[in-house]
Amino acid sequence: MTGLALASLALPVAAQGTRPVAPNAAIAPLTSLADVARPRAPAEGTPGCWAEDTLPAHIETVTEQVQITPETRDPKTGTITAPARWRTETHQRIVSERTRMWFEVPCAEDMTPETLTLLQRALAVRGLLAGAPTGTMDAATARAVRLYQRPRGLDSAVLSLRAARELGVLPWGPADSAD
């Protein structure tokens, strides 16, 4: 590909500013990240680096009409002499509790400015991050990480080791599998 063609491909991303753009589903891996999270902390001495994150509770607001008094009818004609009275009641209900989870993450020494720049480029190619790479884990990068991981089963802005490897940011180890 010529330099001109590469520049024309990069132009739409740069023109977007710092807003995330629509993800390109054709480029995203088909594997799931749902299996990387654990409900308990790893055992003492477990190799690797781990992060704890919290999934917020899912709460829904329920609004319903509650009858205060029933309608009254004329006993002879059956016509309504007084309409029913209702009031609106609203309450919240927890659909799922807040959940703590642990998952393996890249170790701090692996997350150099060069690695973070590579991560930002990988997210930008997938349409999840716009703007020039900064080499820092800023708020826009964290949002883009969540946008990458959430549809695949890991709702976290903390980069998982598995996602870092799938994005090509870190190498796969000999015991790892791309599934």
DSSP 39-90: SSPPPTT-SSEEEEEEEPPEEEEEEEEEEEE--EE-TTT--EEE--EEEEEE
pLDDT at 39: 86
Residues 37 and 15 in one domain: yes
Residues 9 and 51 in one domain: yes
Whether residue 114 is contained in a domain is answered as yes
What the block records as the tokens of 86 is 């209702």
Residues 79 and 162 in one domain: no
Residues 103 and 156 in one domain: yes
Query: pLDDT tens, position by position, for the chain (179 residues)?
Result: 444 433 333 333 333 334 444 444 444 454 678 778 888 889 998 999 999 998 888 899 999 999 999 999 999 999 999 999 999 999 999 998 888 999 999 999 999 999 999 999 999 999 999 989 999 999 999 999 999 999 988 999 999 999 999 999 998 876 554 44
Whether residue 177 is contained in a domain is answered as no
Residues 127 and 77 in one domain: no
Q: Report the distance separating Cα 127 and Cα 25, nearest Å.
A: 9
Q: Report the distance separating Cα 170 and Cα 134, nearest Å.
A: 18
pLDDT at 33: 80
Whether residue 142 is contained in a domain is answered as yes
Residues 47 and 71 in one domain: no
Residue 163: Cβ within 10 Å count: 26
Residues 74 and 90 in one domain: yes
pLDDT at 35: 78
Residues 146 and 67 in one domain: no
| Cβ contacts of 3 within 8 Å, gap of 6 or more | none
β-bridge partners, 90 = 63
Domain count for the chain, please give it. 2
Residue 124: Cβ within 10 Å count: 22
Whether residue 172 is contained in a domain is answered as no
Q: What radius of gyration, in Å, describes the C-alpha atoms of the chain?
A: 26
Residues 67 and 141 in one domain: no
Domain that holds residue 147: 3-56+99-166
| Cβ contacts of 135 within 8 Å, gap of 6 or more | 113, 114, 116, 117, 120
pLDDT at 58: 86
Whether residue 109 is contained in a domain is answered as yes
Residue 12: Cβ within 10 Å count: 11
What the block records as the tokens of 95 is 């659909």
Residues 9 and 20 in one domain: yes
Q: Report the distance separating Cα 121 and Cα 115, nearest Å.
A: 10
Whether residue 83 is contained in a domain is answered as yes
Whether residue 25 is contained in a domain is answered as yes
Residues 69 and 148 in one domain: no
Residues 49 and 104 in one domain: yes
